[in-house]
C-alpha cells in the first residue's frame, strides 16, 4: 500500500478539504500493487545507480509540467543535480507534451534522456506512451493512465484511435513492467477528477529503484503550491 499525494490548483491546495487529502492513504487494489513487479527487477537493473531518468508523456492540460517540476523539486531536496526539459507538440490544450527529468548524485547531465535509458515512464494518456518508445528499455517501468483523450484528428474523424489493449501489448513487448489503470476513475472515487496525475505520482513514488523519498515528494508538493 502507498500514499497517493494530491495535486491541483494553488487554490485547491489551500482548501482545507483538498489539503486533507494530501497525506491520506488512498490505496490501490492488489492487481496494481507495486509488489507484483518482477522479483528479479533489481538484479536486472543495469543502469548506472548514480543516475535516474524519468520520462513523462501526455497532452496539454493534464498537469504534465507540474509533475515534472515536482519530481525535479524532490530531487533537489535530496541534494541531487537535476535537469528538466520539455518538448511540446501543438501549442494548445490536448497537444502532445513530453518532459524529461534527469537526476544524478553529482554528474552534470544532458537535458534529454538517451535512447533506451529511461528508468521510469509516466504516461498520462495511453497512446502518448507509445510516442516515447525511443527512450524506453527492457527494464523501464511504465505507469500508464488508460483514460483516453482523443486528439482533434480523431474527434473529427480523420484518424482512428488504437485499441487500448493493443497499445498496452505493444508497450509490454518493449518493457518488462507495465502498470496500467484508469487514474481518472480513481481520482473521481476520492472526489476530485483533477488529481489523476497525483494517482500516477503516488504509484511512481513507491516503485523499486525510485531514489526519491516520501519527505522529498511532500516538500516538493508544498513548494510547488505555496503562495
Per-position DSSP letters for 124-142, written without gaps between them: SSHHHHHTTGGG--TT-EE
What pLDDT score was predicted for residue 77? 97
Residue in the block written with cell 492487481: 31
What pLDDT score was predicted for residue 152? 76
Residue in the block written with cell 509533475: 67
Cell of 78: 535530496
Decide if 109 is inside a domain: yes
Phi and psi (nearest 5°) for 121?
-115, 130
What pLDDT score was predicted for residue 23? 37
Q: Nearest-CA neighbor of 164 among 192, 115, 130, 198?
A: 130
Contact between 74 and 216 under an 8 Å Cβ cutoff? The reply is yes
Q: What is the pTM of this model?
A: 0.78
What is the domain-level CATH number for residue 79?
A: 3.40.920.10
Decide if 160 is inside a domain: yes
What pLDDT score was predicted for residue 227? 56
Decide if 153 is inside a domain: yes
- State the Cα angle at 205 between 201 and 211, rounded to 5°: 130
d(CA 14, CA 227): 9
What pLDDT score was predicted for residue 94? 65
Decide if 19 is inside a domain: yes
Q: Nearest-CA neighbor of 164 among 143, 141, 180?
A: 180
End-to-end CA gap in the chain: 31
Phi and psi (nearest 5°) for 55?
-105, 130
Mean pLDDT over the full length of the chain: 81
Number of domains within the chain:
1
Decide if 44 is inside a domain: yes
What pLDDT score was predicted for residue 33? 43
Digitized pLDDT (tens) for each residue of the chain, 227 residues in all = 334 444 444 444 444 444 434 433 333 433 444 444 454 554 444 445 579 999 999 988 888 999 999 999 999 999 999 999 998 765 456 678 999 999 999 888 999 999 999 999 999 999 999 999 999 999 999 999 999 998 777 778 888 899 999 999 999 999 989 999 999 999 999 888 888 988 999 999 989 999 999 999 999 999 998 85
d(CA 98, CA 154): 20
Range of the domain at 205: 10-224
Decide if 4 is inside a domain: no
Q: Nearest-CA neighbor of 55 among 12, 118, 117?
A: 118
Residue in the block written with cell 483516453: 148
What pLDDT score was predicted for residue 62? 85
Decide if 3 is inside a domain: no
d(CA 85, CA 102): 9
Amino acid at each position: 500500500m502507498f500514499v497517493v499525494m494530491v495535486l491541483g490548483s494553488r487554490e485547491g491546495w489551500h482548501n482545507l478539504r483538498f489539503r486533507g487529502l494530501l497525506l491520506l492513504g488512498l490505496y490501490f487494489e492488489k492487481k496494481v500493487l507495486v509488489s507484483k513487479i518482477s522479483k528479479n527487477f533489481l538484479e536486472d537493473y543495469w543502469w548506472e545507480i548514480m543516475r535516474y531518468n524519468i520520462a513523462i508523456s501526455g497532452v496539454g492540460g493534464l498537469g504534465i509540467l507540474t509533475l515534472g517540476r515536482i519530481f525535479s523539486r524532490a530531487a533537489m531536496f535530496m541534494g541531487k543535480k537535476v535537469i528538466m526539459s520539455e518538448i511540446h507538440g501543438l501549442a494548445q490544450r490536448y497537444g502532445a507534451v513530453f518532459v524529461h527529468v534527469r537526476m544524478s548524485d553529482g554528474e552534470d547531465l544532458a537535458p534529454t534522456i538517451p535512447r533506451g535509458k529511461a528508468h521510469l515512464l509516466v504516461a498520462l494518456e495511453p497512446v502518448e506512451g507509445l510516442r516515447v518508445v525511443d527512450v524506453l528499455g527492457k527494464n523501464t517501468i511504465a505507469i500508464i493512465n488508460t483514460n483516453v483523450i482523443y486528439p482533434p484528428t480523431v474527434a473529427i474523424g480523420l484518424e482512428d484511435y488504437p485499441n487500448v489493449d493493443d497499445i498496452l501489448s505493444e508497450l509490454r513487448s518493449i518493457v518488462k513492467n507495465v502498470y496500467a489503470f484508469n487514474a481518472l476513475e480513481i481520482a473521481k472515487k476520492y472526489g476530485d477528477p483533477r488529481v489523476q496525475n497525483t494517482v500516477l505520482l503516488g504509484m511512481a513514488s513507491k516503485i523499486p529503484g525510485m531514489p526519491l523519498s516520501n519527505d522529498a515528494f511532500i516538500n516538493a508538493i508544498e513548494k510547488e503550491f505555496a503562495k
